[in-house]
Amino acid sequence: MTPFFISDFLNYLKVEKRYSDHTVIAYQGDLQEFFEFIQPVAIVEATHQLIRSFIYFLKEKNLENTTINRKISSLRAFYKWLEKRNEIKINPLSKTMLLKQPKRLPAFVHETDVKEQKIENIFENSGFENLRDRLMFELFYQTGMRLSELIELKVADIQGASVRILGKRNKERIVPVSPDLLSLINQYIKEREKLEVKSSCLLLKNDGNKLYTKLVYRKINYYLGILTNVEKKSPHVLRHTFATHLLNNGAGIEAIKSLLGHSDLRATQVYTHNTFGQLKNIYSQAHPRGRKI
């Protein structure tokens, strides 16, 4: 049985915060687990020490720090809500810090795996679905746009040799389009016109309706599975690949920041990693003994 305070909080998330069902369910699971752990102590009587005991309990279950941090964040939001409602006098999470997480480099695809010839070999050059799928793939790789940006991309956003992208918080950016990508866009638009649809979105399903997230994920996962052995396969991996290849070929970090639509340079600096091959080249060129490699 879910306690009243938790039920009320979940309703607040759904109605006032307009969180998705998926997010609300995640909160519910985290809070229910905590509620069961602290029994018979009441929710509003939880202490900082009890929170620490719960975190230790989660560690004992060999959960990753990312998972534990999500649960801590759920509890933080819940107790902050209780505090605002004057249900508690002291917030038991006021001094609780998130656990340190190892910094992971963004997954990306090597240049040899996305050469034009390799991509041409897996896509047919005719038919609406084939052209759409290739255009979807190329837009991710050649412009670095986000999944949400691709789904919302309009026909009118193709402006000559550039594409207008409406990003987070309605921040607009203009990204150049290569001649081959522009040619592919024009080919696709000709096929798209045969559908005789009124939708302003550029990329559509076979029935003329708007694309949805799972379809795009499934398509990109499939094509990346053919092209590369990279473990993680998603549209965001192609965004990482776009940024990494620009950086590896001499683009400045500020320019990459603008192309990605980042508001903070720190978000872009995560791409300043090097492949082993690059490090080997740098070492062999810069170190006196390295020239013998």
For 18, the enclosing helix (H) or strand (E) is: none
Written as one letter, the residue type at 178 is S
Return the active site residues: 146, 168, 236, 239, 262, 271
Burial (CB < 10 A; 0-12, 13-18, 19+), residue 168, is exposed
Give the Å distances, CA to CA, from 129 to 80, 136, 207. 49, 10, 10
SS3 of 60-121: the string is HCCCCHHHHHHHHHHHHHHHHHHHHCCCCCCCCCCCCCCCCCCCCCCCCCCHHHHCHHHHHH
Q: In what order do the strands lie in the sheet with 158-159?
A: 158-159, 162-166, 172-176
Quote helix, strand, coil % in the chain, to nearest 5.
60, 5, 35
**Cα separation, 131 vs 153, whole angstroms:** 16
Longest dimension (CA), the chain: 71
CA angle 154, 264, 143 (to 5 degrees): 35
